[in-house]
Amino acid sequence: MLVRHVWDKEAIMEIRVLRYFIALANERNISKAAESMHVTQPTLSRQLKELEERLETTLFIRGNREIILTESGHYLLQKAKEIIELVDRTEHNLSETSEDILGEIAIGCGETEGMRIIAKTFNKLQSKYPNIIIHLYSGNADDVAERLENGLLDFGLLIDPTDKNQYDFMELPYQDRWGILMRRDSPLAHKAVIHPSDLTDQPLLVSRQSIVDNQLSGWLGRNINQNPIVATYNLIFNAAIMVEEGLGYALCIDRLIDTSSNQTLHFAPLDPPLEANLNLVWKKNQALSPASRAFLKELRHDLTT
């Protein structure tokens, strides 16, 4: 089986050789890598040398004790893992039998309580088709969109605002509400809601997604960067620890951090309300696997009953 990979020029690499390269990167030793792949050391060395010649670059350096990847080697390792993941998932999905639906469904999602809608549907789906395996990938919208584009995800769960022109999508009956996560002893903790004027000159922790910055800037009525930005975050869990330690106020979505049982943290919603719709998206004209089609059918049924 061959795949096409773009470097500075197009090069064709066998999946088998990519597996050899990943094994070497993991083991950092030619002998151990050859043993793990059940090939001889000379065979592995020859295949990897031919790979370097084909790509016209050095992928690794033999150190005194272990193999060290070059910058090009680290880049190839990242892409090789993505290629192998895609190939393995595709082969698994193509092994469907006529008696049952089986396969893998990969879904990427940001942090949202709305994930419960998807979880309930998956629960029903697996009751009908126990051989379906679900893979969850957590990341912000930029991460999920990139993996969707590269074919590493079947679906993405994205919070508005998001550009849906390149996707087929279903809007889910759920809205996330934005607010401020803060310490209970902070100056704003006594307020039931947070107004734009309350955040003037306050130190903020914000999502690193530019499209979210635009939305929050619109709510503030000024560029969000006019506030002192003390930190950016990808997912809120670690940002909440920063808030606990008094770093500042985190602009985030409600119900991601349980503040009811937390004696340190408090959440207050924004006013006027800033709410975000939730969308399940997938690439337009994408050939969906039987498992993915079954999931969409089950989800549509759940949303209309």
pLDDT digits (tens, 9 = 90+) for 80-108: 888 887 777 677 666 554 457 888 899 99
In this predicted structure, the answer to whether residue 5 has a pLDDT above a threshold of 50 is no
Q: What is the mean pLDDT of the chain?
A: 86
| Share in percent of the chain as helix, strand, coil (round to 5) | 40, 25, 30
Percent of the chain with pLDDT over 90: 42
**pLDDT, tens digit, for every residue of 187-217?**
999 999 999 999 999 999 998 876 677 888 8
SS3 286: coil
SS3 187: coil
In this predicted structure, the answer to whether residue 239 has a pLDDT above a threshold of 80 is yes
SS3 59: coil
Q: Which CATH entry fits the domain spanning 103-174+277-304: 1.10.3720.10, 3.30.360.10, 3.40.309.10, 3.40.190.10?
A: 3.40.190.10
Measured between alpha carbons, how far is 208 from 65 in angstroms, rounded to an integer?
Answer: 40
What is the C-alpha end-to-end distance of the chain, expressed in Å?
44
| Strand 67-69, strand 10-14: pairing | unpaired
Q: Say whether domain 176-274 belongs to CATH 3.40.190.10.
A: yes
CATH top class, domain 2-93: mainly alpha
Q: How many residues does the chain have?
A: 305
Measured between alpha carbons, how far is 277 from 274 in angstroms, rounded to an integer?
Answer: 10
Task: Give residue limits of the domains in the chain.
Answer: 2-93, 103-174+277-304, 176-274
**Can you give the pLDDT at residue 95?**
57
Q: Show Cβ contacts of residue 196 under 8 Å, excluding neighbours closer than 6 positions.
A: 219, 220, 221, 222
Tell me whether the CATH fold assigned to 2-93 matches the one assigned to 176-274: no
Measured between alpha carbons, how far is 285 from 287 in angstroms, rounded to an integer?
Answer: 6
In this predicted structure, the answer to whether residue 1 has a pLDDT above a threshold of 60 is no
**Can you give the pLDDT at residue 92?**
65
Q: What is the pTM of this model?
A: 0.67
